Each structure stands twice: as structure tokens, then as C-alpha cells.
A and B are shown apart, each in its own frame.
Chain A
Amino acid sequence: MSSTPLSVLRSTVFARVLRAFGLFVLVSLGVLWLVTVLWRDQIDGLEWDAIHAEAAYAEDTIAEVGIKAFLSDYTEPGNRVWEDDYLYEPLEEGQFIHAFRSDEDALLAGYGDLWPDDEAGAALFHPEINVPVRGAAFGYEGGYGVIARFEPESRRDLLAFAQFATFSLFLIGLPLALFVGYFLSRDVFRRINVVSATAAAVAGGNMQSRAPETGDGDEFDRLARGINDMLDRLTQLNANIEAVSVGVAHDLKTPLANIGGRLELLDRDAGDADAVASHVEAAQGYLAELLRVFDALLRLGEVESGRRKAAFAPLDLSALVSGMADAYAPVFEDARKSLSINVAPGVRIEGDGELLEQMLSNLLENALEHSRDAAKVHVTIDASARLTIGDDGPGIPPAHRARIYERFYRADSSRTHPGSGLGLSLVKAIADLHGATVTLDASSPGAVFTLDFSGQAER
């Protein structure tokens, strides 16, 4: 995706700017014309009121004093009958114009081409002026009259303004919308292109590529950060998978080679029933070892996928821990080590009992296997749901502490101790699933693990 003008025009931002502009224009026009029409009606109303008042005054006065007396008062002497040119003054000043006639249509006063009209009340026929007039006609003893006024200038201005505003909205607004839309989209495009370029680079195999973060915390920055976090996580998962592949290859090769060896021996010792039995038993032992690694890996995958969380139920952690410790106590005894149990009763959490049992057994077996001779191992759980399992030596060397939760990692690099190197990975994964933190006490001489469930303990 590059920011060619055409692709910018097809962008969502551009389309939205145009749509927003269109809406703006429609609403503006609506308001403009509504105001214009109301205003025009207002002007017209006042105008008609003035015309009718003037006509009524003329009609009443004529009825009272007669047309002659009225005209001598109402009109300027010497300017009783108007020439064409005279009309420019009332056109500009907004004065009333009139025409008074006798019954025989002889003009008594006013302008000769102002006539009554059915629609506008009055009609003006002037050789040059074609501004419309409104007026009122009335009759009197011996004739009839028309009083009218030119359409006010404010009304004409108003309509002219409304038309002008309409045109300008289109003529100025449209290019402006296109312009703003184009540059806005281009800007957004530019910011997004950086991110999509990163995605394309990663898709192309460059896993190290990251979207630049501007640090100003705007939406593009957040997008970049989100994508970078995702990529970091993916990279880490990838690294995990690589570690697993190497671990699997390494850890499975030995038992597989051993099984192969036993099969060869079986072939050679086929006649010796005792030898056959011992080879078969040994091969089954190696197979069990292989399956244990697979089981642990599958469990780990299942736990890390978070699927088990759906099956979480309230459970009595105290009872679970005591049961498990009681089951293991004789095993410790037989190994000439001691297991002391100190469990606060009634500690309840939300969790998966089966996984928690697995986790505990991993920790207990870890303590059993890696502690010194005659070690004292303790299991405690306090009222705030903190579970501690630890021994009194020799502990985990500081150099290894950071890596003990990695899959297939073993402090004992010769790999002579039994175990898959997955036990603590599984412990960590199960603890994570339960919202518990796992810490290894650095000050203690032995390996002391603390699992803190207090974050999710039932309140």
C-alpha cells in the first residue's frame, strides 16, 4: 500500500471528510433557507401592513373630506401627475406611490401606469424600472385609487444573499473539502504506511522489524505500540518453540537411542528368555520416559493456551495441599528426609484442582530430588493464600535462578538427574493461569518457592 493520489482518494478518511462536508452543506443550506424564508415573510408581513394602513387611511379620509380635498392635502402641488423619471425617488427612498383615477379612468393624481392588480394588489408598467410593486386598490365616490410601494431593498438583498451563500458553499466548500480530505488522508496514510510496512517486513521474514513509536501517545502511537507488543510476544513464543524443538530433539534422542539399542540386544539375545524380559522392561522404561516428556509438553501447551480457565471452580487449597503433603510424607521418610506441613485451614481459591495437584507434586518432587541428604523440607500455606515449599539446601546457584522456568533448562547441564526440565516451566505456567506469582527466595540457603495466590484469593 503506497500513498499514490488514487489510493488516497479511495481512503476511508477521504470518504468520511467528503461525507461530513456533504452533511455540513445540507444542514447549512437548510438553516440558511429556513432563516431566509422566515425573514422574507416577516418583511412581507410588515410591508403589507404598511400598505393596507396607508390605503385605509386614504380611503377613510376620501370618504370623509372628498377626493379633491384629500388630493390637495396628500399630493405636492405642481407635482400631482408624475413623469416616468419621478419614480426613481420612491424606488430609492421607499415612499408610497399612487394613482387616483376617476370612474372614467382619467388620472387625477399619481403615476399613469400604476394599475390595480388581482395578485399583488397593484401593477406598475414603467419603461425602465421593473422592480415589482405591491399595493392595494380601493374605490371612492366618483373614482378609484391604488396605493403601492416598491418591493423593499432589504428583501431583494436578503434573497440575493441567500443565493450567493448557496453558491459560495458549493464553490468554496467543495474544493476546500477535497483539499482538506486529501491532505488529511495523506497524513493518516503516511502514519499507517509506516505500520503496514513493518507488518509487511515481518511477514517477509524480518521478525526483528518494529514500527517506530513517536511516544506522543496518539492513536497511531498506540497502534504501533500494540503491534510491537504483539510482535515481541510472537518473537518470544517463537523462541520458546525453538527452545522446545532443541530440547525435544536432545531429550528424546537419548531414550530413543536406548530403545534402539535394546531392540538390537533383543535380536541378539532372542534365545535367552531372561535377557529378553530384561531388555523389554528396560525399553518400556525408556518409552515411559519419552511419554512423560510428551505429556509434560502437552500439559504445558494446554495450560498456556488458557483453555483450562473455563473449568475453574472454587476449591479448598488448604485441603488440597494437606492431602498432597500427606501423600508425599512417607516418600520423604523413605528417602531419609523430612517433610513438615503447616497449613492454615480453609484457604479457598478459584482454580483447577487437577492442575494445582500437578503443580504441587512437581514442587514436592523437585524438593525431594534436589535437596541435600537428610534435608528438612517444609510446606506451608498462610491465611492470605501464600504457599511456600522449600528445602534447607543446597539451593539453586544464583547463575541459574533466572532461567529455571525455561523449558528444558536444567541447572545440571550434564543432565544426569532424571527429569524433563519441564517441571518448573509447568509450575510457572499453572501459577500464571491462576493469577499467582512464583518467587524463589534468594536469601534462603535452600530452594524456597513461594506461590502467592492472594491476588485472586476469594474475598
Chain B
Amino acid sequence: MKLMVVEDDAETREYLMRGLSEAGFAVTPFAEPRAAMLDLGAHEYDAIVLDRMMPGMDGIDVLKLVRGARISTPVLMLTARSAIDDRVAGLEAGADDYLVKPFAMTELVARLRTIARRPAMTEPEAGLALGDLHLDRLTREARRAGQRLDLSPLEFRLLEFLMQNPGTVVTRTMLLEKVWGYRFDPKTSLVQTHMSRLRAKIDKPFEAEMIRTVRGSGYVIDAA
């Protein structure tokens, strides 16, 4: 997957380059937003990592220009630890996701994988399937190997989000944001508790486990 990284700080840029290359992305780094924007006209990227604070130009303005030029490449914004308003401004300007520095590389990689593969504005499918696991979004029913699973609405949404990103690591914070809509970091094992209940329902009664815990980063669902 081809990735553009726009970050003025050399150390962070180096860190991003290394981490993202190791995760299998083909990374093109830019230290300056103008050069990056010119390059966007010439090359196609699967996703852009854009720093919010750069000398001479605000990341939000860069993003507005990019979106104004009808370039719909998914953008993940990076920002220094600051107010929540920043995130809202970033998302309003057309960012697909937002991450606050300092962040774990696994978190960035997981988020980039989900936004980079997101198809542009397609109708949500009525059903999701992965291996012998089927999800009907209209009846809110889940079945594995033909057997109906008794999921709570929350567990259904959790499973739905995992199945939309099969084979991709989904982090705890991503689940909190996308499934619960929570923007804080709970001290308790909120996500783990619900996840273990979900796994007890969809994995325990069956032979093969579909949901795996990835130590230190999150969860991944795969066809068994």
C-alpha cells in the first residue's frame, strides 16, 4: 500500500518511515506541505499521514486545499496533545481519522489499514460474511455455522466493526471510538470485558477461534 507522510519534524518523520515501512507500507516522506500537494497531482496514494502543526501552513488548511482539489485520498491527521476541538476541526476539514501524539505505532498502523481499505462512498452491504460467520445487518442477526448467536446490541456492533476490517488489527481505542463513540480512555477493562463476552459466544462453542488478541495492540478477526 502506498502511503504519503507529511511531517516537518525529522525525528518523527524517521520514526514514521521506519515503523510504517516495517508494517509493509511503501512510504514517501515529505517534510513540507507544498511539495507534498504538488506530488498529489502526479501520484496516487492509498492514504496520507498529515501532521497538523507545520511551519508556514496549518495541516487543516492543507487538508482543505487537498479536498478542494477533489482529491479523496484518505487522510489521517496527527496532532500534538491538545484540545478536543482540534479533532473536530480536523474531521470537519475532511480528515478520515485523527491521532494524538505520542501514539503507538501499532495504533497508527491499525488505523491506516482501516481507512486505506475503506471503499469510497459505497452503500453499506446488508450482510457481512467471514468464513462460516454471517451477519445480517437488517435483522441484526448473527450466525456461525448455521447456528444463531444470541448477541446483545453492543456485541453485535462490536462484531460488525471487526468484520468490516477482517484480517486487520483493531485497537482498543478504535473500538471505543467507533463502537461506543467514547473519546476517553477508561481505566477499567471496558473493551476487554465486552470482547471476552463476545468471544465466549462466537468462538467458545466452536472448534476454531476467529477472534485473536494481538498482545499490546488489539484484536483481529479472521476466517477460521
Contacts and interface: CB of A to CB of B under 8 A. Distances in A.
Interface of A: 281, 284, 287, 291-292, 294-295, 298-299, 302, 307-308, 311, 323, 326-328, 330-331, 334, 354, 357-358, 361, 365, 368-369, 418-419
Contacts of A298: 81-83
Interface of B: 81-85, 88, 102, 104, 154, 180, 182-190, 193-194, 197, 216
Contact of B84 (A294, A302, A327, A328): A302
A294 B187 contact: no
A358 B188 CA distance: 13
Contacts of A291: 81, 102
B216 to A, nearest CB: 6
Nearest to A334: B193
Contacts of A292: 185, 187
Contacts of A294: 81
Given A284-B104, A330-B197, 8 more contacts: A284-B216, A295-B81, A327-B190, A328-B190, A330-B193, A331-B193, A357-B182, A361-B186
Contacts of A308: 84-85
Contact of B187 (A302, A323, A418): A418
User: What are the 8 tightest A-B residue pairs by CB atom distance, in nearest-first order?
Assistant: A358-B184, A330-B193, A331-B193, A354-B183, A365-B187, A331-B188, A302-B83, A365-B188
Nearest to B180: A327
A118 to B, nearest CB: 90
Nearest to A281: B216
Contacts of A369: 187
A68 B177 CA distance: 129
Contacts of B190: 327-328, 331
A326 B182 CA distance: 13
A364 to B, nearest CB: 8
A354 B84 contact: yes
Nearest to A418: B187
A450 to B, nearest CB: 22
A362 to B, nearest CB: 9
7 contacts: A284-B216, A311-B85, A330-B194, A330-B197, A331-B193, A334-B189, A354-B184
A16 to B, nearest CB: 46
Nearest to B194: A330
B27 to A, nearest CB: 23
A291 B190 CA distance: 19
B169 to A, nearest CB: 16
Contacts of A365: 186-188
Contacts of B186: 361, 365
A275 B200 CA distance: 31
Nearest to B102: A291
A331 B193 CA distance: 6
Contacts of A354: 84, 183-184
A153 to B, nearest CB: 87
A408 B216 CA distance: 29
Given A357-B184, A358-B184, A331 B189 contact: yes
A328 B180 CA distance: 11
Contacts of B83: 298, 302, 307
A358 B216 CA distance: 24
Given A330-B194, A334-B193, A307 B85 contact: yes
Contacts of B102: 287, 291
Given A298-B82, A302-B83, A419 B184 contact: no
Contacts of A326: 154
B187 A419 contact: yes
B141 to A, nearest CB: 20
A292 B100 CA distance: 13
A361 B184 contact: yes
A302 B187 CA distance: 21
A368 B82 CA distance: 29
Contacts of B197: 330
Nearest to A426: B184
B185 A295 contact: yes
Contacts of A334: 189, 193
